[in-house]
């Protein structure tokens, strides 16, 4: 099978599926290496498809256009990870990713796409059962999340709950996610 046909089939699988599909599974299905799948996904993204890479696999972000987004800068230790994520989920949010500003590598982003308590449990279990540390350990607990919700009101409630529990450092309302790339986190509040 040539690359164009394989990418068409990968896109079709992502469009039809509701759950993430691992790169290893795609590589096995199409009898190619995992690296070929990574390149195929990069080419599909370059064509404008919003494909998220999460810890559980690739997923097409079908809701992105209708969802409101906010980047929230927080700080806490690893013991508060689950509670922080549950505050977001329990108030109608989705945790799209985790972002850190590394002093050497710059911005590092890892897709999460956590929508339910079950997603959170699977993520926390994976953190606890592997030797991999959460990204926030590289920045002494400081990190950011892109949070999605159906309305600005839900985002406001999430922000207030995180603030009440002492997690919030700063929030940005994003009209254009690319604009965030040049914004650094400090202790002032502002919106873009």
Q: Where are the domains of the chain?
A: 3-60, 68-180
Q: pLDDT by residue (tens digit) across 28-41?
A: 999 999 999 999 99
Task: Write the CB contacts of 96 (distance below 8 Å, at least 6 apart in sequence).
Answer: 52, 69, 111, 112, 113, 145, 146, 147, 148
Q: So what's the architecture of 68-180 in CATH? A: 2-Layer Sandwich (3.30)
In tens, the pLDDT along 121-180 reads: 999 999 899 988 888 888 888 899 999 998 889 999 999 999 999 898 655 444 434 333
Residue 115 pLDDT exceeds 90: yes
Terminal-to-terminal C-alpha distance of the chain: 45
Q: Residue range 55-70: average pLDDT? A: 80
Q: How confident is the model at residue 65 (pLDDT cuts 50, 70, 90)?
A: low
Instruction: Say if residues 113 and 96 touch (Cβ distance below 8 Å).
Output: yes
pTM of this prediction exceeds 0.85? no
Instruction: Please tell me the distance from the alpha carbon of residue 127 to that of residue 178, in angstroms, as a whole number.
Output: 28
Domain spanning 3-60: CATH 1.10.10.10: yes
């Amino acid at each position: 099978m040539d690359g164009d046909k394989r990418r068409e089939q990968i896109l079709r699988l992502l469009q039809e599926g509701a759950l993430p599909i691992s790169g290893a599974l795609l590589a096995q299905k199409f009898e190619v290496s995992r690296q070929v799948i990574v390149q195929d996904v990069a080419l599909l993204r370059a064509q404008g498809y919003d494909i998220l890479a999460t810890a559980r696999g690739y997923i097409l972000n079908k809701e992105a256009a209708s969802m409101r987004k906010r980047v929230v800068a927080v700080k806490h230790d690893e013991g508060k990870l689950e509670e922080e994520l549950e505050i977001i989920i329990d108030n109608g949010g989705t945790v799209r990713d985790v972002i850190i500003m590394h002093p050497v590598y710059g911005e590092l982003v890892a897709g999460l796409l956590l929508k339910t308590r079950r997603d959170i449990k699977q993520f926390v279990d994976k953190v606890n059962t592997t030797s991999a540390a959460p990204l926030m350990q590289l920045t002494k607990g400081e990190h950011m999340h892109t949070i999605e919700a159906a309305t600005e009101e839900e985002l406001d409630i999430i922000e207030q709950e995180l603030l009440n529990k002492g997690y919030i450092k700063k929030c940005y309302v994003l009209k254009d996610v690319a604009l965030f790339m040049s914004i650094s986190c400090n202790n002032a509040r502002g919106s873009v």
